Amino acid sequence: MRTKLLQANIWKFYILRILVKRLVWPILTIFLVRNSLTVTEIGIVFAVGTIIGLILEVPSGAIADRIGRKYSLLFAQIGQALSMFIFWYADSFWGFLVANAVYWGAGSLWSGTNEAFIFETLKELGRANEIKKVTGRALFISQVATGFLFIIVPIIAKYNLSLPFLINALVFVGSSFLVVTMVEPVRSCSVEQQEIGKDLWGIKTFFSSRSLLLIGLTFSFIGGINGVLENFRQVYLDQVHLDIVYFGLIYLGLRLLTGGVGLISPKIEKYIGRRATFLLVPISTLITYLGLYVFNSLFGLFFIFLDGIQEGITRPLEQEYLNNLIDDKSRATLLSVFNLTTNLIKAAVTFFAGILIDMSNINVGFLFPTILTIVFVAPLSFFFLKKIGKGV
């Protein structure tokens, strides 16, 4: 009986990955622009939200290790539903600031915890070695499904810009009910035996393990820098005069690319090797931002889609490397430390990129992550490749 319930966790996890997506994402930045926010103010809204998320990231992981993964995921869905209601109701900078802060605060209960939940489900089923396949499949399903939903959102927004936020709030309510039906997987150490806080919420462990630190920093810088395109992609599309109705098609294409590449990433790694597969990540990141800096036309769509390919390769890789170095006892906590590092970098990069865009233009905003990729990602990738060569 329990085996069947745990197996059901897997397909429910796939559905949950669809429902937890912020469906308003294809119009969020333009929504803020049309509500008279400057790019700097938008950068502040995104940066503050990210900072709130990172402040709560590690404590939320500790909470998940204490109260259980299921309850943590449930509270995340409820909080994100609330944030969408606030976005729908608000009409000023401060209202949107609060809404995004609530979203990221609730999201901190999701990040790290959902990865721990599915990994421990697979481990109890004796299928822990399938984590990359399941992660890739979840990525594919969620990206493709939300991609098609993203087509509808801009069309609705064309006639009522705030309505998609109300719809998204109701979707998060639905995901809350789905979480209630899931089963908490067993860990090798019970919740009562956890000693949360003994190791500064896992930060000491994260920074004292050279392999974990190198892997964490490498993927954190890649994910953090990519926050610029994530947050200001719509500003670029608006500047090259693409109608908002077509934004959904762009996001669908990105989801199809990211999900498809994520699904076949194990085959890519098997065919070209671990080192070559990883090397695709920093190279594609550099080409993406350099291209968006140089071109200010619809040709820039090529580089936006290249970023989707990079994301599809990155996600399964980072989950495999990180989970293989972390034990069950502190899995959610240490994955939250990784997400904290990523979000800290993302907040800083997004904030300064927003200022550069307001002072100059969108192209200069993309020059900033280009430089950061050369200065930080390139050397970290070099040392990471050496680690891969040693069998990490």
**CATH code (residue 277):** 1.20.1250.20
- DSSP letter (8 states) at residue 36: T
**DSSP track, 46-92:** HHHHHHHHHHHHHHHHHHHHHH-HHHHHHHHHHHHHHHHHHHHH--S
Residue 190 phi/psi, 5-degree rounding, is -65, 160
Question: Is residue 194 one of the residues assigned to a domain?
Answer: no
Residue located via tokens 């927004």: 157
- Residue 182 CA to residue 174 CA, distance in Å, equals 14
Question: Is residue 383 one of the residues assigned to a domain?
Answer: yes
Question: Is residue 191 one of the residues assigned to a domain?
Answer: no
Instruction: Specify the number of domains making up the chain.
Output: 1
Cα-based torsion angle of the residue sequence 357, 363, 365, 367 in order, rounded to the nearest 10 degrees:
-150
* Contact (Cβ atoms closer than 8 angstroms) between residue 339 and residue 76: no
Question: Is residue 282 one of the residues assigned to a domain?
Answer: yes
Question: Is residue 186 one of the residues assigned to a domain?
Answer: no
Token pair for residue 100?
């995004």
Question: Is residue 350 one of the residues assigned to a domain?
Answer: yes
User: Range of 246's domain?
Assistant: 2-181+201-389
What is the reported pTM?
0.74
Question: Is residue 62 one of the residues assigned to a domain?
Answer: yes
Question: Is residue 146 one of the residues assigned to a domain?
Answer: yes
* Tens-binned pLDDT, residue by residue, of the chain (392 aa): 777 878 888 888 999 998 988 889 899 999 999 999 998 899 899 888 878 877 886 677 777 777 888 888 999 999 999 999 999 999 899 999 999 999 989 988 887 788 888 888 888 777 777 777 887 788 778 877 888 888 899 999 988 999 999 999 999 999 999 999 998 887 644 333 333 344 544 566 666 667 777 888 888 899 899 989 988 999 999 989 999 889 989 988 887 888 788 778 888 888 898 888 889 999 999 999 999 999 989 999 999 999 999 988 887 787 777 777 776 666 666 766 777 788 788 888 988 998 999 998 899 999 999 999 999 999 988 888 887 665 55
Number of H helices, E strands in the chain: 17, 0
